[in-house]
Chain A
Amino acid sequence: MRYFAQRLVFYVFTAWAAVTINFFVPRLTPGNPVDSLIAEYQGQISTQAVHSLTVLFGLDKQQGIFQQYISYLGQLARGDLGISFHSFPTPVSSVLAQSLPWTVCLVGVATVLSFAIGTLLGVIVGWRRGSLADMLMPITTFFASIPYFWLALLAIAAFTGVGSFLPSAGGYDPGLVPGWNGAFVASALKHSLLPAATIIVTSVAGWLMGMRNMVVTVSSEDYVTVAHAKGLSERRVMLGYAARNAMLPSVSGFGMALGLVVGGTFLVEYVFSYPGVGLELVSAIGQKDYPLMQGIFLVITLSVLAANFLADLAYMALDPRTRREG
């Protein structure tokens, strides 16, 4: 319980810190492009939108900084992140609501898969010392060092093109209307195969190495020897004793990786023109769409925190030492 409370406090504190950083960054950058943009779009923005932008970016010079901060927090609590400029006049929150599911689905699933495959392979490689299992190491290292946008582009060149099964861009066939129908879902899946595959190929190595190192360290512990001596089958010892304990650091790492799901793999979306949050961020940056940039950054941070929190819960369930009272 203690552990849980500690982590909760930490996440609340970090969320507050992230929100506050988000508050200060636009006020610290030189010049204020939002002002000029508002002037440019004068008459086309509703007064309400102008007001929300003012709060977000501190355009009202008369308000004290603390007062601005309070209004900023209040506005965030209402879910109002301002208006996106480059997909004007859509509010930032709806842009995010549209693109977030794509990112979460694609990258989330890919991360889970690479974690599962990598950890399982890592257990096997760590368990069988010597032999060609160790040859795997330099190969996977090489793959891990390949920047995945490069691998992705190569994959597109190699596997897609006129008449091939896999599409080269987009989240779904342009002709289809998004909805929960068979054709759309099938198309979405088809479009996600290549991106997911490239993510998995480049990130498996990391999980593999980490897990292998832990399994090697754990398998020399006495309790594994005792398990062997008790006569348990090798697979039982490998999975139930060694892997179970070796997995703990990987679980923490997995939490962090999940957090990076939203924030870190926008390169993939960029290359595949996949309609997720990352792509929005890239275009926002290109077009200097500050409200959108800020909103995305905030959402990314909060989802990182949420993912880490979930991972901590999982860790708590797996490691009985954290449940010890006092």
Chain B
Amino acid sequence: MAVTAPGVDAVTPQDPVAGSAEASPRRLRMRLLSNRKVAVGLVILAVFLLIAIIGPLIAPYDPSRRSADILQGPSAKHWFGTTHIGQDIFSQVLDGTRSVMFVGFFAGVVATIVAVLFGVTSGYLGGAGGEGLSAVSNVFLVIPALPLIIIITTAIPTGGDWVVALVIGLTSWAWGARVLRAQTLSLRRRDFVEAARATGEPVWRIVIFEILPNLTAIIASSFVGTVIYAVMTEVALAFIGVQGLYEWNWGAILYWAQSQEALAIGAWWWFVPAGLAIALLGTALSLLNFGIDELVNPRLRSSGSAAVRDYSGRRVRLRVGFTPVLARGAGPVPAHATEIQSADIQVEDGAR
């Protein structure tokens, strides 16, 4: 018969295209951190988390304590100034961080859990059960969440942060569920799920250990998105005066600022810090989300603004569909230019 060639491809050196070094958990984390945007986002987030934990302890004053220093601008004594009844705004901001972070993350967790339950189950089941679950999540998707939240929280005024977080979480899961369902549907048809079945794995193991790990990026992104949304919603609710005003969340600060017409009387310091804090937190979370997006879809990474010169020394602007000639013959190619060029022709994992 023919000459056998055992182990030829067993000793073949690894295919460089196939080994794009992405999915190993260790390398994944390092990749995430090395992205500058993500690193910045994480640092800011960490600061906020720290403040949430120790804020009330390090606040110089009791945020509700009145004093005689009425409507003072920022000073050494009051870093962010004071309110119309002499309360220290800096302490209020510090104190409010805890409530905001708690509601944001708790709502995020609730919403993500529900989204995973509904989305993955409906995607994996298919058939009537799957369609039914999908219909439920579509209904929740279309019903406007904010008015519903307002109505419910008005009906249950004495709930505190838990209730608000729960309500926000239970009304904002639908979008994540929809995305997860679509992804699960496409994953379910992949061969490795069938292979796992053929190996004899039970259904629950397939869902948890085969399908879910492939969804981590989407789940993480959905979680971060929900946290952003929950923070914004909670602040908005407090600003309108819907939520209880016993705890100093940032929206409450703005509520008082608005009702006392802070801007009209020129007390900008009452107004600015809380808003900036919200914007910073939102930005940090969004940057984190971008990082996750770019990790999953390497094409999205910005190629930076390194100047690229072609072989004749002219500056070249990289754009879609255009491949500049960077070097001729056996000349050396500048290292960074190769990097940029490979970003244009990056091969996606799994492409042969």
Contact = CB atoms under 8 A, between A and B. Distances in A.
In the complex, A touching B (Cβ < 8 A): yes
Interface of A: 10, 13-14, 17-18, 21, 25, 29-30, 127-132, 134-135, 137-138, 141-142, 144-147, 149-151, 153-154, 156-157, 209, 213, 216-217, 219-220, 224-225, 228, 234, 237-238, 242, 256, 259-260, 262-264, 266-267, 270-271, 281-282, 285-286, 288, 293, 296-297, 300-301, 304-305, 308
Given A10-B138, A130-B318, A150-B275, A285 B150 contact: yes
Interface stretch (B77-85, B114-122, B283-291): B283-291
A259 B320 contact: no
19 contacts: A17-B143, A127-B319, A129-B303, A129-B319, A135-B305, A138-B287, A141-B283, A145-B278, A147-B239, A150-B275, A157-B268, A213-B300, A224-B320, A237-B321, A262-B144, A267-B236, A296-B147, A297-B151, A305-B142
B279 interface: yes
A259 to B, nearest CB: 7
Contacts of A156: 263
B161 interface: no
Contacts of A132: 305
A145 B282 contact: yes
A282 B240 contact: yes
B320 A127 contact: yes
Contacts of B290: 137, 141, 209
A238 B320 CA distance: 9
B154 interface: yes
Interface string B129-163: 00000010011011110111011101100000000
A266 B274 CA distance: 20
Given A13-B135, A141-B287, A300-B147, A130 B232 contact: no
Nearest to A15: B142
Nearest to A158: B263
B338 interface: no
Contacts of B268: 157
Contacts of B286: 141, 144-145
B143 A29 contact: no
B107 to A, nearest CB: 16
Contacts of A18: 139, 143
A300 B148 CA distance: 10
Contacts of A213: 293, 297, 300
Given A224-B321, A263-B146, A137 B302 contact: yes
Contacts of B263: 153-154, 156-157
Contact of B142 (A129, A151, A308): A308
B205 interface: no
A154 B303 contact: no
Contacts of B254: 149-150, 153
A260 B144 contact: yes
Contacts of A13: 135, 139
Contacts of B304: 130, 134
B299 interface: yes
Contacts of A128: 317, 319
B48 interface: no
A301 B143 contact: yes
Contacts of A151: 275
Interface string B299-314: 1101111100000000
B142 A216 contact: no
B258 interface: yes
CB-based closest 5 A-B pairs: A145-B282, A263-B144, A150-B275, A134-B302, A228-B321
Contacts of B141: 256
Given A142-B279, A153-B263, A296-B147, 4 more contacts: A14-B143, A147-B275, A216-B299, A260-B144
Contacts of B188: none
Contacts of B144: 259-260, 262-264, 297, 300-301, 304
A253 to B, nearest CB: 10
A264 B254 CA distance: 19
Contact of A267 (B135, B239, B305): B239
Nearest to B340: A130
Contact of A146 (B239, B275, B321): B275
B179 to A, nearest CB: 11
A263 B235 contact: no
Given A134-B305, A308-B142, A129 B150 contact: no
Contact of B300 (A144, A216, A266, A282): A216
Given A130-B302, A157-B268, A220-B299, A146 B279 contact: yes
A170 to B, nearest CB: 15
B302 A149 contact: no
A137 B37 CA distance: 10
B323 to A, nearest CB: 10
Contact of B242 (A256, A285, A301): A285
B283 A154 contact: no
Nearest to A288: B154
B147 A281 contact: yes
B223 interface: no
Contacts of B241: 286
Contact of A14 (B139, B271, B300): B139
A309 B239 CA distance: 32
Contact of B283 (A129, A145, A225, A238): A145
